Amino acid sequence: MQVSGRLRRHEQFYPLLVRVLDVGAGTGTYGGDIIDWLPDQNGAVMMTRHYLPDDHLGTHLASSEQGLGVDRIDTRTLAVRRIEPPRGEAVAYFTDGHGAVRIMSVHTSWGWHQETPVVTHLYRSPGSRQWQTLATYNVSDHSGFNLYAVDRDLNVAYGFKKKDGRKALYSIALDESRREELVYARPDADIDQLIRVGRHRRVVGTSFALQRRGAEYFALDIAQLLTSLAQSLPQPTSLQITDASVDENKMLLFAGSDTRPGAYYILDRQANHLDTFRVARSQLEGVALAEVRPVTYQASDGIAIPGYLTLPPGHESAKGLPAIVMPHGGPSYRDEWGFNWLSQYYAARGFAVLQPNFRGSSGYGEEWLAKNAYRSWRIAVADVLDAGRWLVREGIADSSKLAIAGWSYGGYVALQSAVVDPTVFKAVVAIAPVTDLPALKEERRRWSNFNLVSDYIGNGPHTHEGSPAEHADKIKVPVILFHGGFDDSVRIEQSKLMAARLAAAGAKCELITWDNLDHELVDSSARAQMLRKSDEFLRQSLGL
């Protein structure tokens, strides 16, 4: 289950994803994060470390320490010095970018190591070692203050909080006043990312996604710099600072667009010189790629659904093309304008591709989330089915040459849409899909976040009615499934169950697996195989 998108850190505290298995002493699945690059201490970094008890060795090496702590590590000598002792209740630490841990975020327990959804942020005043309560955040309903960064100079913490049903950026003073101030909000979009630069991770702005991602810069020097650079790069483009030297005189930039996978540049601000450092996906240099067009279509209840339409390269208009509706994963995620290797591949093979940001997608406010797209799967599936109907109604797609393809939650929607209305899509491609909601919950039975996952998915008839594996007999079109055996987000048993149920129902189904790959199938040969096999499957199923 990709609660935060395709393993994307969309929320600071990995909502409903957990790091420890509650079996005996525990099993560590989280190695820690670098939380401070310590630029003034050349070669050292500060990082979190997850400690687990090790008392079964019967030697002096045994340890009873448990929880999340912070260590300073010399990357040259590998010498380790403890900065913060491990705490069982800790889930995150934040520094000021200059080596001082200013905030610790902790959770409480319902008992038997079952986490509550509430995270409490504790802060320290400059020079103090005493923790004081700052704010709370609920990872289930996203209420409260979701903390992201500390600004040493302003002595504030930045985070996201709801305002009028949308996420906005706020700051809280790290002193006894704990004064909260609105930094930036929009009535038409969630504010969902901080923009930071340099080795000290200076906060310089924030960003949001409309038809294309936009930004608001607080640092005038960065705003002027990016405006000037954007004018000298191919248009339209997405430009961002990915790294910088300590003094920020040299910067690593990335620029890309829908038809350009992008390139990295090194900017020397003193010399006013820009050099190409590395081209992303250099194999695509000189290859004509497809434009991605923002579109809206009307759902059956009259609501306008946003999305992105990608036509085969060179097609200004589309009439009667084979087409694919490609719902995103998540479900609390959204597609954005830009280069997408999956949709570009299918477009290059002659398909029109529509990526709908169905209700249940993030970025459009609290009401659009509709609880979440597991509890409200009927709305999400209906919006995706309406995407297919719109393609046919507009003449973009031939109704006999319309398929659906999705990854993770997108694979779930692909299968469930064929259950709800088997007449719309003529073939289903599902990559690492969820297929059985009760089983998805049960997989977390012995994990410390079981109660949170169970509450997120919900209980009742909708979990059975919304499980495609329980209704395989209603799927009347060919299905191909892809899954990695090392997938801990959506276990491979979900696809195996779906394949078995489809076979028992007499449906045409193929399951392709890789024993050693995880949810993302991060392997060039595996992804190439998946693309080739899915293309062959679609052409055969659609009679192309």
**Sequence spans of domains, the chain:** 20-184, 292-542
Q: pLDDT band at 117, cuts 50/70/90?
A: confident
Write down the pLDDT at residue 61: 54
Q: Tell the residue number behind the tokens 């996952």, with chain if given.
A: 453
- Which of residues 144 and 371 earns the better pLDDT score? 144
Q: In this structure, what token pair is assigned to residue 100?
A: 């001082």
Contact 93, 102 (CB under 8 A): no
Burial (CB count within 10 angstroms: exposed 0-12, middle 13-18, buried 19+), residue 284: middle
Write down the pLDDT at residue 14: 39
CA dist., res. 380 & res. 299, Å (int): 10
Of the candidates 20, 143, 30, the one whose C-alpha atom is nearest the C-alpha of residue 450 is 20
Q: 51-84: b or e for each residue (b if 16 or more CB lie within 10 Å)? A: beeeeeeeeeeeeeebbbbbbbbeeeeeeeeebb
CA dist., res. 47 & res. 101, Å (int): 11
CA dist., res. 129 & res. 141, Å (int): 32
Architecture of domain 292-542: 3-Layer(aba) Sandwich (3.40)
CA dist., res. 290 & res. 312, Å (int): 6
Q: pLDDT band at 319, cuts 50/70/90?
A: confident
Tens digit of pLDDT for each residue in 190-228? 999 999 999 999 999 999 999 999 999 999 999 999 988
Mean pLDDT of the chain: 90
Tens digit of pLDDT for each residue in 166-178? 999 999 999 999 9
Write down the pLDDT at residue 361: 96
Spatial strand order in the sheet of 321-325 = 292-298, 304-310, 352-356, 321-325, 397-407, 428-431, 479-484, 509-514
Within a 13 Å sphere around the CA of 28, how many CA atoms are in the beta-carbon half?
A: 12
Percent of the chain residues topping a pLDDT of 70: 91
Dihedral sign (CA 356, 358, 362, 364): positive
Q: Roughly how many angstroms between the first and final C-alpha of the chain, as a whole number?
A: 33
Write down the pLDDT at residue 11: 38
Dihedral sign (CA 448, 451, 457, 460): positive
Print the SS3 string covering 189-245.
CCEEEEEEECCCCEEEEEEEECCCEEEEECCHHHHHHHHHHHCCCCCCCEEEEEEEC
Of the candidates 381, 386, 374, 388, the one whose C-alpha atom is nearest the C-alpha of residue 416 is 381
Q: In this structure, what token pair is assigned to residue 130?
A: 């005493």
Tens digit of pLDDT for each residue in 36-91? 999 988 899 999 998 877 665 555 555 678 889 999 999 999 999 999 999 988 98
CA dist., res. 106 & res. 137, Å (int): 10
Write down the pLDDT at residue 88: 85
* Alpha-carbon 377 to chain mean position: 19
